[in-house]
Amino acid sequence: MKSTEILPIHSAQTDGEQALLARAADCIRAGGLVVFPTETVYGLGGNALDGEAAKKIYEAKGRPSDNPLIIHIADIDWAESYCHTNALFYTLACAFWPGPLTMIMKKRDCIPASVTGGLDTVAIRLPSDPVANALIRMAGVPIAAPSANLSGHPSPTTKEHVIRDLDGRVDMILAGNPSEIGLESTVIAVEEERVILLRPGAVTYEDLVSVLGEGCVSIDRIVTDKVTGEFIPRSPGMKYRHYAPNAEVLLLHGDEERVLSYMQTHASDPHTGFLVYEEDVSTLPPQRTLSMGRKDDPVMQAHRLFACLRAFDEMPEIKTIYAPTPKKEGLGLAVYNRLAKAAGFSIQSC
């Protein structure tokens, strides 16, 4: 067990907070681990130029070391030093950075193999959260950071989630506000003339198409389908069953009324939980039902999803969680992808 310093921080504006950030930046430069808030989810950060720091990140998370890390930078100008950029990269960076978009590019030699899981590419992102940005800028090095959860748990969207998973395993936790978006960044592989969507997030497929045109954006099958057997995913992280609560998640697909009445037929079983839209909450047992937000509000659904999955972990009697299958449009595709992964892609038609 390490002794972890938990440092409250909110804006990076005051002198006191700047001083805390300077200490956290020193810790990163010295090879330590610092958890910090971002606009997507909290990240577990270490110096991306230090192969030993990367190894510590894998150890703290209990994560397989073939699953590569995203490096976080403080300014677009930093990118050229760490990856081979191209015109498409800058088009997308100008459109969506700072923000929840991660681009996979050929890496430069200064990025250690332990950061990229041995791949010759690196995932790079410029977060918009002011605390994240100030920390990276002060550290003066890119920060490698996976989501700050123990491997297999849902990504943390509040300081309480982080403390629960990582207190005693990292040097510092910057305990800030709840994550604004609540789902991890969109991950794309950037080629010369097109991009491939590997993980949907708040920069949506439609957003990418609006900048690049339809012919230039494709969606990898790992976004919507279960990865099986010999299939080698472009993004190693996608093969793991992430985002999993303790209970089994079962997605129900079909007409809205039939889905709801199927849930109601299971409502008397004390081992079932329900993760449904706000409009349907009142029709199911209140102690075992959580709301993702209104049907037409994927922003709220994204914001709440991981906190709901973690809340079910606090209810040990729940063995099965029923949820409706979200529409795969806009931000809904990201909500669908995370729920489907939590369900191991087990989707039942009603």
Q: Which residues bind ligand TXA (CB under 6 A)?
A: 38, 40-41, 43, 67-70, 102, 104, 116, 119, 121-123, 125, 145-147, 184-185, 187, 199, 234-238
The least distance separating Mg ion from the CB of residue 248, rounded to whole angstroms, comes to 21
- Pair 253, 326: CB distance under 8 Å: no
Single-letter amino acid code for the residue at 145:
A
Q: Strands 143-144 and 70-72, how do they pair?
A: antiparallel
Which strands, in side-by-side order, build the sheet including 272-276? 289-291, 272-276, 320-324, 248-253, 347-349
| H or E, element range at 159 | helix 159-166
> Which C-beta is closer to ligand TXA: that of 201 or that of 273?
201
Chain centre distance of CA 164: 17
> Which C-beta is closer to ligand TXA: that of 241 or that of 271?
241
> Which C-beta is closer to Mg ion: that of 121 or that of 147?
147
Q: Which backbone phi and psi does 219 adopt, to 5 degrees?
A: -105, 120
341 binds, among Mg ion, ligand TXA, none (CB under 5 to 8 A by kind): none
> Which C-beta is closer to ligand TXA: that of 12 or that of 252?
12
- Pair 160, 307: CB distance under 8 Å: no
For residue 197, give the 3-state DSSP assignment: strand
235 binds, among Mg ion, ligand TXA, none (CB under 5 to 8 A by kind): ligand TXA
The least distance separating ligand TXA from the CB of residue 279, rounded to whole angstroms, comes to 29
185 binds, among Mg ion, ligand TXA, none (CB under 5 to 8 A by kind): ligand TXA
DSSP alpha helix (H) spans, the chain: 15-29, 51-61, 79-82, 87-96, 130-139, 159-166, 205-212, 256-265, 298-313, 332-342
> Which C-beta is closer to ligand TXA: that of 133 or that of 291?
133
DSSP state of 231: -
- Pair 278, 350: CB distance under 8 Å: no
- Pair 285, 275: CB distance under 8 Å: no
Question: Tokens 């397989």 identify what position?
Answer: 64
147 lies in the binding site for Mg ion (CB under 5 A): yes
Distance separating alpha carbons of residues 200 and 64, to the nearest angstrom: 22
> Which C-beta is closer to ligand TXA: that of 98 or that of 146?
146
The least distance separating ligand TXA from the CB of residue 274, rounded to whole angstroms, comes to 27
The least distance separating ligand TXA from the CB of residue 321, rounded to whole angstroms, comes to 22
The least distance separating Mg ion from the CB of residue 21, rounded to whole angstroms, comes to 24
Token pair recorded at residue 68? 């590569």
Token pair recorded at residue 127? 């977060």
Identify which range of 71-79, 146-154, 205-213, 315-323 contacts Mg ion by CB under 5 A. Answer: 146-154
332 binds, among ligand TXA, Mg ion, none (CB under 5 to 8 A by kind): none
Identify which range of 17-25, 27-35, 130-138, 143-151 contacts Mg ion by CB under 5 A. Answer: 143-151
Token pair recorded at residue 45? 């950060």
134 binds, among ligand TXA, Mg ion, none (CB under 5 to 8 A by kind): none
> Which C-beta is closer to ligand TXA: that of 158 or that of 272?
158
186 binds, among ligand TXA, Mg ion, none (CB under 5 to 8 A by kind): none
Burial annotation 311-330 (CB, 10 A radius, 16+ → b, else e) = ebeebeebeebbbbbbebeb
The least distance separating Mg ion from the CB of residue 85, rounded to whole angstroms, comes to 25
- Number of residues near Mg ion (by CB under 5 A): 1
> Which C-beta is closer to Mg ion: that of 25 or that of 335?
335
Name the residues that contact Mg ion, by CB under 5 A. 147
